[in-house]
Structure 1
Amino acid sequence: METVGYRRFREGVQACVPTMMGYLGIGFAAGVVEKGVGLSLWQIAALSLLVYAGSGQFIICGLLALNAPIPSIIVTVFLVNFRHLLMSLSVTSYFRGKGLWQTIGIGSLLTDESYGVLTTALQAGHKVSVAWCHGLNVAAYLVWLVANVLGGLFGQFLTDPARFGLDFALTAMFLGLWLFQVDLPLKKRTSQSVRILLAVVVTLVVGMRLFSGEIAVIAATLVGCMVGLLTEGGVQ
């Protein structure tokens, strides 16, 4: 007879299935690129385990190809992935009192995709437990590792990943998660949700014209959070 914790963990894994399917494609493409810049299989595995960020890993490969200095690579990847700190902060209230190591485990493996699944579940009123989050995060983490290694193994036989649409896998996954997140607020037609969405879009568009994409994303996130906090009644 399965325990409650195991059942919640399994439910988190099930919720992660769409993300895992997307990770197979984009992770494989990442492995192909990583192998192309001269990384060995163990280096690809280490990069996937320690960095665990699609955009960050692609950027690392691009900078390695340009022989960029290590400090510039570190700073660039830090800026690109700084948004993960903001994402983690936005869900900390749901895991208060759960223990330091439990929350570190959740925050360390939280990605854009798993955050989208998590916040969609929260918006739908689902009771999200620590075990559920671990199932969601660990499943995505392991699939990402396997996909990267497979890309490194078989990448030499696949010279053009874009031909098979692998380069669009991450974009398609983002679009699906975004639609799930905005579907409920738009159906409710809450003025607060519309204001937050407009603030994020306007800030992102303006920011992309004035700054780099990374800074624009961080700025849009902060503006969206600020609008949500200043609006009475909390996020709808």
Structure 2
Amino acid sequence: MESTLVAKQATDFKRGIQSGISIAIGYMPVALTFGLIAKTTGLALSETIMMSLLVFAGAAQYISLSLLAQGIGIFEVILTTFIVNIRHFLMSASLNEKAEEDTVAERMGYSFGITDETFSVAATREGTINARYMFGLNLTAYSSWVVFSGLGFIIGAGLPQTLQESMSVALYAMFVGLLVPSMKGNVKVVYLAVLAAAFNSIFTMAELMSTGWAIVLATLLSAILVEVVETFKKGRRAETDE
């Protein structure tokens, strides 16, 4: 009986690793670029690896680099990345409904490794998920992100200084690359991006607050305004249908 349980746990862990291989491969170029830009931003190798170890969130780490490059305060950096990653609460709650009767400690352990990609794989998997499967899935993706972040930094350190300095442009190119696909076929995202840019420009040019707080407030205001308009439109449609 016990040997059967151990064999099942090993099988689930192996399946998690297999499911995570495609994510790990996809993380390679993004993590390499992060490490490269982290070097040009002024982070040390230990700081770059530590950020990937503790944060493990691509968009949040890129945004952090942008804010750090502008000399933004640590509180604004933390608050901004919290807002960006607040969707993880919803993803965790969704997976909780699909999870087996794992212990609280196990769920806390694998919830750290939930990203957009690991969530998509786990959420679309047939049947339930358990701690062994999630640990295998997350460990594969996590290892790739951390290792290639460090490798990207090492590669960046070997580039000529002029090229290193010019690589800061890649940070903005990466933001565009992340934004454009999500804007296709989603007008809501377009409105959100335009409003956030407009609010941030107004706050910055009017010198009403620091750059960090301008970004935080612009993000919050645009998100709230878009949701209010969307809710109002849904209410109007419901009244029309009646």
Normalised by the length of structure 2, the TM-score is 0.68
Any idea what the Cα deviations from partners look like across 1:144-173, whole Å, max 9, x if unmatched? 11010001111134545999xx959x85xx
Q: Which residue of 1 aligns with 2:42?
A: 38
Letter in 1 for 2:34: A
**Uncovered stretches (5+) of structure 1, i.e. residues with no partner:** 179-197, 228-236
Letter in 2 for 1:51: V
Answer yes or no: is the 8 Å Cα contact 1:161–1:167 preserved in 2.
no
**Uncovered stretches (5+) of structure 2, i.e. residues with no partner:** 198-217, 235-242
Identity value in percent: 29
Deviation of 1:130 after TM superposition, in Å, equals 2.0
Q: Which residue of 1 aligns with 2:95?
A: 91
Any idea what the Cα deviations from partners look like across 1:29-86, whole Å, max 9, x if unmatched? 0000111111111111110011111111111111111001111111111101111111
C-alpha distance in structure 2 between counterparts of 1:167 and 1:151, whole Å = 15
Q: Which residue of 1 aligns with 2:210?
A: none
Q: Which residue of 1 aligns with 2:200?
A: none
Alignment of 1:33-112 (within 5 A): 33-95=37-99, 97-112=101-116
- With over 3 angstroms needed to count, the CA separation of the structure-2 counterparts of 1:61 and 1:211, relative to structure 1, is closer
Letter in 1 for 2:95: V
Deviation of 1:95 after TM superposition, in Å, equals 2.3
Q: Match for 2:20 among 16, 19, 25? A: 16
Alignment of 1:94-173 (within 5 A): 94-95=98-99, 97-121=101-125, 125-157=126-158, 159=163, 167=174
Equivalenced residues, count? 193
C-alpha distance in structure 2 between counterparts of 1:92 and 1:127, whole Å = 10
C-alpha distance in structure 2 between counterparts of 1:56 and 1:134, whole Å = 22
- With over 3 angstroms needed to count, the CA separation of the structure-2 counterparts of 1:94 and 1:126, relative to structure 1, is closer
Deviation of 1:115 after TM superposition, in Å, equals 0.5
Deviation of 1:143 after TM superposition, in Å, equals 1.1
Answer yes or no: is the 8 Å Cα contact 1:13–1:139 preserved in 2.
yes
- With over 3 angstroms needed to count, the CA separation of the structure-2 counterparts of 1:107 and 1:205, relative to structure 1, is same
Answer yes or no: is the 8 Å Cα contact 2:35–2:48 preserved in 1.
yes
Q: Which residue of 2 aligns with 1:194?
A: none
Letter in 1 for 2:110: I
C-alpha root-mean-square deviation of aligned residues, in Å? 3.4
Q: Match for 1:26 among 27, 30, 46? A: 30
Q: Which residue of 2 aligns with 1:230?
A: none
- With over 3 angstroms needed to count, the CA separation of the structure-2 counterparts of 1:147 and 1:134, relative to structure 1, is same
Deviation of 1:97 after TM superposition, in Å, equals 3.0
Deviation of 1:202 after TM superposition, in Å, equals 5.4
Normalised by the length of structure 1, the TM-score is 0.69
Answer yes or no: is the 8 Å Cα contact 1:87–1:115 preserved in 2.
yes
C-alpha distance in structure 2 between counterparts of 1:26 and 1:142, whole Å = 13
C-alpha distance in structure 2 between counterparts of 1:5 and 1:208, whole Å = 44
Deviation of 1:18 after TM superposition, in Å, equals 1.1
- With over 3 angstroms needed to count, the CA separation of the structure-2 counterparts of 1:217 and 1:99, relative to structure 1, is farther
Structure number with greater Rg is 2
Alignment of 1:215-230 (within 5 A): none
